A and B are shown apart, each in its own frame.
Chain A
């Protein structure tokens, strides 16, 4: 009278294999679930019993105990419903025990016995590698794309029972819906002028350099940032799986193919709390925006309006590529390797760029500038002032700007070059790596020396400028030789923090 069924539960963004043990014995009829279930999981009692009865099966009139092993892991949600129901049916000998060997079950039950999909289907199925996995029919596509073994879509409990008892064949997978043409994002060709800023987002996409744009309202900062994802290359399979796991665990809608192939763009509002940004929450810990932006772009518009504590919390994930959320009940690690793109006005009125145009008081500007912490500012390899395009650019009729497709091609080549150097993007090159892969001409060195001596470039900035210059070489398809022009190009996209703040008016 014992059954053990394979299943999985979600911890953070990872699935954990769970074994659902069901024991039926003599005694007063009852139904208990033990093994650290949370409220949603404990409610399975009522759902499972109703689903079994309405599927025309028999509920055992015995003392039924369900144990979710290992009992040290907290189990949440309704994804164990199907496994518990099958456990009860096996324990009451309505389903042969042999039929569940090597099979695992994921899904929630409706009172009528229907199988429903649950949040985090991708990580749950991912954790059950090697098994044949039974999933709700509506979750088939997501499960199939991640799973290496056989995936069986089932729409209700009766159907599942029949298939396990071998009285009916397994149902066919649902017809794939019409493949929606991927809606292209906004195109770079629509951007008027902004030569330097266009170059900057291209470099950011190619080299993985974090980008900060300062400029007056209406200069096009947000517009440019939104076009940045468009020129980034598709994620490779490993990266796509990482991104898909996070998206699924957070209950985000997945694209039709099931895999997040395009780099995601997340742009949280500046009112975002620390928890919503980096992840956390009471009870089950959820991934935050920075994890949803994993392998994609985190765009912080109006950087100056974010709470300073929230921004400072970004520093550790920027450094390590992961965020460790610790709670009394344990700590969870979320992936968070994202490209940070931020935009802000140079001062509250936004006009501080053009000399003499700002209407803010000194105090207001000071307070505004103080919100940008130096260490965070330091993480941006590309910091540029975006100015409003001149009238001639805006009104140009025969406007021939490069399109997203053209730029994306260059970015792809540059990324391929970075891969040959053993990194994903140039931004990850260390100082030693850099010396091995490229050389600086005497012209370039002279320019760097001047800027160092003039105090417009810091020692740390030196390495970053060279990395950006290397990305410029890659984009141009040139040899990795940092000559005067490349260094100048990199320097023109990097304003030192002190000078940025000066522009802001401190």
Chain B
């Protein structure tokens, strides 16, 4: 909580109610609350006196029916019940007229007006790294994300990400499992609206052992436009943004933009030039982002240790007959048919070697495609 006087509970409730309105993003919320107390804004909106909120006129894309929806929703939802719902779920609300208490977010060029929080408080003195990437990742990306997540957490670095499927989830899960540094998940829905559903357990673990942050009150559904807004908070909280895999376009490149606007260092993990999930990251490298070849690269950029001379992702050699299969596989997904052609082994032999390699954790299989596991 900020140092100024304890904020009025009614004001907190009103701002929470306003933040959860459909189509209410940070820009609009700031416009509504500019130059007037929350109680006054609430009064104007519920009475339909929209003209008196002059700042709304300059907000692009706002339509008359948005205002009508806001008026309707506000008059049908008691702010005090909303507050009680947060208390029941153990969600802390961070708000004061001067801004939120987390310094990095308060001083942001596009600051959130209110933050809802589940789990531990954030120590912004600790260096933090955001690990982001596409939801449509390959096994390579997933394993790199997991490895970076756990090794950064082991080094005591705070790991920030967006709880999305793919890279985000892989990084956060392994960071949590390592039990080292803090793990922060920033989401684009209310803290009681688990999205994506398959990350229910990750969500719960973040709330218990890490931190979950949102700009929106309970009950807010995930909407497409809320995710870019969420991405700016990821960039704002992190010292370094690491992109593990990204397609030609995607949310992670939006995070990169937000990071550059905020002067955060962006690093990218190189990938095969034939892999569509690495197009974005390889382009970032071309544009001058430092590459991540090992966790030490990131730690060095944070000023932790001297950069490692040798990338440590070089896997140890397997037995010669297994190594021949690995060589035939290369670093891209391959099917059994392709491997049969490349190795001139019989199906029995190849099958048995693949199983041995899988047991050894050297390769993984997804949908009939076998890939080398770099971790």
Contacts and interface: CB of A to CB of B under 8 A. Distances in A.
A412 to B, nearest CB: 21
Given A358-B136, A488-B352, A489-B348, A353 B341 contact: no
B368 A387 contact: yes
Max chain B Cβ within 10 angstroms of own Cβ: one of A215, A356, A392, A393: A356
Interface residues of A, number: 43
Interface in B276-323: 276-277
B337 A362 contact: no
A506 interface: yes
B337 A488 contact: no
Interface string B122-145: 000000000000011111000000
Given A354-B367, A390-B335, A492 B351 contact: yes
B88 interface: no
B368 A386 contact: yes
B35 interface: no
Given A199-B347, A488-B355, A506-B198, A355 B333 contact: yes
Nearest to B140: A355
Max chain A Cβ within 10 angstroms of own Cβ: one of B138, B347, B351: B351
B341 A390 contact: yes
B100 interface: no
Contacts of B366: 353, 355, 502-503
A215 B368 contact: yes
B276 A346 contact: no
Contact of A353 (B337, B340, B368): B368
A358 B138 CA distance: 12
Contacts of B356: 447, 484, 488
Contacts of B338: 390
Contact of B275 (A356, A387, A492, A504): A356
Contacts of B341: 390, 392-393
A94 to B, nearest CB: 74
Interface stretch (A120-128, A179-187, A189-197, A420-428): A189-197
A196 B136 CA distance: 27
A384 B369 CA distance: 11
A393 B369 CA distance: 17
Contact of A489 (B139, B277, B337, B352): B352
Interface in A205-225: 214-215
Contact of A447 (B247, B348, B359, B367): B359
Contacts of B333: 354-355
A442 to B, nearest CB: 14
A196 B337 contact: yes
Nearest to B245: A356
A357 B355 contact: no
Contacts, number: 104
Nearest to A390: B338
Nearest to A449: B359
A451 interface: yes
Nearest to B346: A195
B165 A362 contact: yes
B369 A194 contact: no
Max chain B Cβ within 10 angstroms of own Cβ: one of A355, A356, A489, A506: A355
Interface in B242-265: 247
Contacts of B137: 355-356
B354 interface: yes
A196 B336 contact: yes
A485 B345 CA distance: 13
A506 B358 CA distance: 22
Interface of A: 193-196, 199, 214-215, 346, 352-358, 362, 384-390, 392-393, 447, 450-451, 454, 456, 484-485, 487-489, 491-492, 495, 499, 502-504, 506
Interface of B: 135-139, 165, 196, 198, 247, 275-277, 333, 335-338, 340-341, 347-349, 351-352, 354-356, 358-359, 365-369, 371
Given A356-B275, A392-B341, 17 more contacts: A196-B337, A196-B347, A215-B368, A353-B366, A353-B367, A356-B136, A384-B368, A387-B369, A390-B335, A390-B338, A488-B355, A491-B355, A502-B366, A503-B366, A503-B367, A504-B367, A506-B198
26 contacts: A193-B340, A214-B368, A353-B369, A355-B138, A355-B139, A355-B333, A355-B371, A356-B136, A356-B247, A356-B275, A357-B276, A358-B136, A384-B368, A387-B368, A389-B337, A390-B341, A456-B358, A485-B348, A485-B349, A485-B351, A488-B351, A488-B355, A491-B355, A499-B365, A502-B366, A503-B368
Of all A-B residue pairs in the complex, the 6 with the closest CB atoms, nearest first, are A385-B368, A503-B367, A353-B367, A488-B352, A488-B355, A387-B335
